[in-house]
Structure 1
Amino acid sequence: MPLEHQLLVERSKKGDRAAFEHLVQLYENKVYTIAYRLMGNHADAADLAQDSFIKIYQALPNFRGDASFSTWIYHITVNVCRDELRKRQRRPTVSLDEPANDNGSTYEVRSTAPGPEEELDRNETQAMVQRCLNSLSDDYRTVLVMREIKEMSYEEIAEALGCSLGTVKSRLSRARQALKEKISKQMELLPPSNRLAK
């Protein structure tokens, strides 16, 4: 960690809010990216990135420096996202298509989605890969995001997840294989011009 970052961490631990705000600016894109890759949408990613920084601020006095600051931040962010995913599995969902009351009327939600022409212009390949990534288990998605998107070393991932180096390598290998299989199945659904080169 650069000396400037170390000084900001030390000042933040002593209650210097300006120093913490500077740390947020330094790491906000990385935290947001992790949250987005784990949650799969921008609104949740923004909310959970903010929640992560609240947790980071609250836990800052306990940061001992055993791990790098960025690894520590990634660990907290992953845990915040995992907690939210677990909560969602326990919450009942409300269907907007089912009648809301006895007279049979339904909820109406005005769509903010782009029109059909705009939707066709979107990058279908990227959306398909993100869907495949989102369909992986939490463990697989987390290790892939940390390695392939955040470019963390195997050692940093092991430290952040609290598991052995061998576990990280085998989990990453299985995650890559699972993602490859999901993408291969989805490739047939894309127009030929959007298919990834094999």
Structure 2
Amino acid sequence: MSKEILTELYEKQAKIIYRYLLKYGCRKEEAEEIVQESFIKAIQHIDGVDERKLPAWIFTVALNTYRNYLKRKSVITELSIDGGGFFSRLAAEGDFTQDILRDESSTPVRDCLSRLKDGYRDLLILKYEMDLSYKEIGRLLGLSEVTVKTYLYRARKEFKRLWREEYGRS
């Protein structure tokens, strides 16, 4: 694999990974270090990773690095979502009622997101907070667009279930 491929990947993915880590609750300095560390690992393992899977591999390395950091430090993450935009975009694709939209605030949304399994939370943040396309998400996670759509459907459904359990509305 050539240096040009890794450079091109860095230009396309580093900002996305960095922004995602910030949304996930990572501090700026930590996010910068994790992105750098992820690409250093990519350079070290460049011969062992399929070129087509490299974007997903780097993203996974970055997330795992941050999750391991949290486990070591026993740090509580504070998801950083904008309460207005995230929920509105999510609701636009689902069957949420206007009551939920009127009661929208970032704290309940963060609470429901934090209760989702990591994969679902990742998908919802990438789609509705970072506004990435299905294709971009698929590339980042190493999934087909169809699979991304299917998993996002399941993630939205689980989010709605958690919301109903906690706030008693559909």
The answer to whether the superposition gives a TM-score over 0.5 is yes
Question: 1:80 maps to what in 2?
Answer: 62
Q: In structure 2, how many angstroms separate the alpha carbons of the residues matched to 1:33 and 1:178?
A: 24
The residue number in structure 2 matching 1:52 is: 35
- Superposition map of 1:51-130 within 5 A: 51-56=34-39, 59=42, 72=55, 76-85=58-67, 125-130=105-110
Deviation at 1:180, TM superposition (A): 1.8
Alignment of 1:155-174 (within 5 A): 155-174=135-154
**Structure 2 counterpart SS, 1:163:** coil
Distance apart, 1:186 and its partner CA:
2.9
CA contact 1:35–1:78 (8 Å) conserved in 2? no
Instruction: Name the CA shift for 1:141/1:179 in 2 (closer, same or farther; >3 Å).
Output: same
User: Structure 1 residues 60, 83: CA separation in 2 closer, same or farther (over 3 Å shift)?
Assistant: closer
Q: Can you give the 5+ residue segments of structure 1 that lack an aligned partner in the other structure?
A: 1-8, 14-19, 94-123, 189-195
List structure 1 segments (4+ residues) > 4 angstroms apart after TM superposition.
Answer: 86-89
The equivalent residue for 2:22 is: 36
Counterparts of residues 116-195 of structure 1 (less than 5 Å) = 125-187=105-167
What amino acid is aligned across from residue 19 of structure 2 in structure 1? T
SS for the counterpart of 2:132 is: coil
Q: Distance in 1 between matches of 2:73 and 2:34?
A: 22
Task: Give per-residue Cα distances to partners, 1:157-181, cap 9 Å, x unaligned.
Answer: 2222112222211110000111122
Instruction: Tell me: CA distance 1:171–1:187, structure 2 relative to 1, closer, same or farther (3 Å).
Output: same
Q: 1:127 and 1:141 mapped to 2: Cα distance?
A: 15
Name the one with the larger helix percent.
2
1:127–1:47: structure 2 CA closer, same or farther, 3 Å change rule?
same
1:80-99 deviations in Å (ceiling 9; x for gaps)? 1234436756x696xxxxxx
- In structure 2, the gaps of 5 or more residues are 75-103
- TM-score normalised per structure 2: 0.55
RMSD: 4.2
State how many pairs are aligned: 135
Q: Distance in 2 between matches of 1:140 and 1:159?
A: 16
Is the CA contact (8 Å cut-off) linking 2:59 and 2:141 kept in structure 1?
no
Is contact 1:34–1:77 with CA below 8 Å preserved after alignment?
Answer: no
Give percent identity, aligned residues only. 23
Q: How far has the Cα of 1:133 moved from its partner? A: 1.0
* Cα distance between partner residues in 2 of 1:167 and 1:32: 24
Give the distance between the partners of 1:182 and 1:82, measured in 2 at CA. 25
Give 1 or 2 for the bigger CA radius of gyration.
Answer: 1
In 1, Cα distance between the equivalents of 2:133 and 2:151?
A: 14
Q: Tell whether the 8 Å contact from 1:56 to 1:76 is kept in structure 2 after alignment.
A: yes
